[in-house]
Amino acid sequence: MQSTRSIRLAAPVAVLALGLGACSQDPSSPSTDGQTIADFVASASIESTQGELQTHAIPRPMRGGPTLEVDSHPTIVNGGTATLHLSAATPFQTVYVAGSAPASQLFIPVTGFYEVALAAPTSSADLLITFPQVLPVSEFELYVAAADGNGNVGSMATNGFEALTVGSGDVQVTVAWDTDADVDLHVVDPIGYEIYWADRTSPSGGQLDLDSNAGCFTDGVRNENITWGVGAAPQGTYTVRVDYWSNCSFSETKYTVLINNGGDISIHHGTFTGSGDAGGFGSGVLIDSFTRTAGPMPTPLRAAQDRRVGPTTK
């Protein structure tokens, strides 16, 4: 069984040119070279509420603010997503996302933060982070804090992330999930070629370059990625599916798919239950189809030999 819901993001907000304030810099101090939170986080949202990028100093924690518990998986990919489950003993209404990056063996806060202002107080929420296709470093930290309805800000929770560098380009499709189950990403490209774990490279140039938890061999990655490089993604229709190969003894697995079609980003959420289907070619639930009008014309498959059929077991 599975269920899905989807959100199409508005056109990406132009990244503000942020400079570190001259007054804050000592030339001898470690520096993050003017990096801002937007270099690490492309968007922060809770359900349909998009976080706004702020450039002023982040509000200071104060006594009585809600203390967040944050549950997240530390491994992410450039161009992908992370879901941070937030909970607190007392309700919160505003969530702040700041960050720090390594500089001279220290983690130095970067400029700016995202502010997600919810319409009503809640005691738990899933904070969705999307990451830029290019990240400046592979290790960084995100700080998450929350304020109650009166503006009382609680302490910040620190979450370390390690980015695996994957391919990105005009078309990038990622899936991230929240257990050590074996989830598989499948994309059928405009020439009808299905890219998945047993057949990772299409003649069109598309490639599965990150595979995770194959056959329940737990690797801690929990992300898969299929992409075409810049200028390579052919025109035509792409179909995205996600397969629950095995639950690997987990009762439920939630997943998030990000589809980036030339900067047009859509996000799709779903939940798998059951045992999984050990699926191969043609398997999986439909996530979305999208059409690309830019790029090279697709070269049709010539004959059956172009269609390699991979193994059916992992």
CB of 175 to Ca ion, least distance (A): 9
Q: In DSSP terms, which residues pair with 226 in a beta bridge?
A: 173, 208
Are 142 and 107 a contacting pair, CB within 8 Å?
A: no
Shortest Cβ 242–Ca ion spacing (Å) = 10
Cβ neighbours of residue 60 closer than 8 Å, sequence gap 6 or more: 153
Q: With H, G, I as helix, E, B as strand and everything else as coil, classify residue 39.
A: helix
Q: Which residue is nearest to Ca ion (CB)?
A: 184
Closer residue to Ca ion, CB minimum distance, 207 or 212? 212
Write the interaction track for Ca ion spanning residues 282-311; mark x where CB under 5 A is met and - where it is not. Answer: ------------------------------
The least CB distance from residue 202 to Ca ion, in Å, is 18
Residue 275 C-beta: closest distance to Ca ion, Å: 15
Q: Site size for Ca ion, by CB under 5 A?
A: 3
Q: Which stretch binds Ca ion (CB under 5 A): 96-104, 177-185, 264-272, 288-296?
A: 177-185
3-state secondary structure (DSSP) of residue 24:
helix
CA 22 to chain centre: 33
| Binding-site member from 148, 178, 182, 243 for Ca ion (CB under 5 A) | 182
Q: How far is CA 11 from CA 42, 62, 259, 262, in A?
A: 12, 35, 13, 11
Nearer to Ca ion, 161 or 196 (CB): 196
Point out which span in 11-19, 92-100, 163-171, 174-182 binds Ca ion (CB under 5 A): 174-182
Does position 180 interact with Ca ion (CB under 5 A)? The reply is: no
DSSP 59-98: PPP-TTPPPEEEE--SEEETT-EEEEEEEEEEEEEEEEEE
Distance from the Cα of residue 47 to its chain's centroid: 14
Q: Tell me whether residue 178 or residue 184 sits nearer to Ca ion (CB atom).
A: 184
The window from 99-107, 120-128, 183-191, 227-235 that contacts Ca ion (CB under 5 A) reads 183-191
Helix (H) or strand (E) run with residue 266 in it: strand 264-273
3 state DSSP class of 276: coil
Residues 39-78 that bind Ca ion (CB under 5 A): none
Selected from 39, 178, 180, 184, the binder of Ca ion by CB under 5 A is 184
- Start-to-end CA distance of the chain, whole Å, equals 22
Q: What is the contact surface with Ca ion in residues (CB under 5 A)?
A: 182, 184, 212
